[in-house]
């Protein structure tokens, strides 16, 4: 059975490095597809030229000032919103997005940029998400999970930084924000995420959005 939503739904997965975002996104994608939903998946930084620039620069820590970082993430996001998110949402898809502007508030905010300023700069052009899942893990354990992916020499410096980033993530509040303990078993987390989404889609449905 195919489920067609009248209006697209934007689901964001957030958290510090090693929280398990990509794993959860993958599981979610499969489950929603199996239920007949049309699903799309995107990541930030994206595949755009700005996203590639960010990834290239990320190999050299502190090669950019916090303001330059912010500028690049905003440029990348503008492109992702216009090129990827809006078209997929217009087609009524459920869009799963791995990182969004909450990452900018947390990561660039942890470098000293005013968090409200970052939020406002983003909210001028982003599509507001329907649901945001924040996977919470302490910096040390997050880093342990991705140890082989990261430069070990930078570990301590990074841990310090990620402690601040995590703190900002934990402070996000709002009716569309769901905080999840990322140390729980993988399947428990994916069930919890799926349940929240299905519940959300149901209220959506009873609010007049047709599923056929
Ligand atoms: P990501 O691609 O999720 O990391 P990985 O290298 O593990 O695949 O993101 C790259 C880094 O970019 C990550 O450490 C978080 C950071 N980031 C920001 O600092 N600000 C932002 O706005 C975004 C989207 C990511």
pLDDT digits (tens, 9 = 90+) for 114-152: 999 999 999 999 999 999 999 999 999 999 999 877 665
Q: What is the structure's pLDDT at 16?
A: 96
Q: What is the structure's pLDDT at 38?
A: 95
Pocket flag, ligand 1, residue 77 (CB < 6 Å): no
Least confident of 69-83, 85-99, 154-168: 154-168
Q: In the predicted model, what is the mean pLDDT of residues 32-38?
A: 95
Backbone angles phi, psi at 91, to 5 degrees: -80, 5
Q: Which domains does the chain have, with CATH numbers?
A: 9-206 (3.40.50.300)
More confident position, 149 or 49: 49
Task: Please report the beta strands in the chain, taking only residues with DSSP state E, as ranges in sequence order.
Answer: 9-15, 39-43, 94-98, 131-136, 177-181
Whether 20 shows a pLDDT value over 90: the answer reads yes
Helix (H, G, I), strand (E, B) or coil at 48: coil
pLDDT digits (tens, 9 = 90+) for 166-195: 999 999 999 999 999 999 999 999 999 999
Q: How many angstroms separate the CA atoms of 144 and 17, rounded?
A: 10
8, two tokens: 């697209």
Helix (H, G, I), strand (E, B) or coil at 113: coil
| 43, 73, 77, 99, best to mutate for ligand 1 pocket (most atoms within 8 Å of CB) | 99
Burial tier of 129 (Cβ tally within 10 Å: 0-12, 13-18, 19+): buried
pLDDT digits (tens, 9 = 90+) for 198-209: 999 988 766 656
């Amino acid at each position: 059975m195919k489920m067609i939503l009248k209006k697209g739904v934007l689901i964001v997965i957030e958290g510090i490095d090693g929280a398990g975002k990509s794993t959860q996104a993958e599981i979610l994608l499969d489950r929603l597809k199996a239920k007949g939903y049309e699903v799309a998946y995107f990541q930030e930084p994206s595949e755009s030229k700005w996203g590639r620039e960010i990834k290239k620069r990320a190999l050299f820590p502190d090669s950019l000032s916090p303001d330059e970082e912010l500028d690049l993430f905003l440029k990348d996001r503008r492109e992702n919103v216009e090129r990827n998110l809006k078209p997929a949402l217009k087609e009524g898809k459920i869009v799963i997005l791995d990182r969004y502007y909450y990452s900018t508030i947390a990561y660039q905010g942890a470098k000293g940029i005013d968090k409200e300023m970052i939020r406002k700069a983003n909210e001028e052009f982003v599509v507001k998400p329907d649901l945001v899942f924040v996977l919470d893990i302490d910096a040390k354990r997050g880093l342990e999970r991705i140890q082989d992916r990261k430069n070990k020499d930078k570990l301590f410096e990074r841990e310090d930084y990620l402690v601040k980033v995590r703190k900002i993530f934990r402070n996000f509040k709002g009716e569309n924000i769901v905080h999840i303990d990322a140390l729980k078993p993988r399947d428990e987390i994916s069930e919890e995420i799926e349940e929240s989404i299905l519940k959300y889609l149901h209220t959506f449905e009873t609010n007049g959005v047709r599923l056929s």
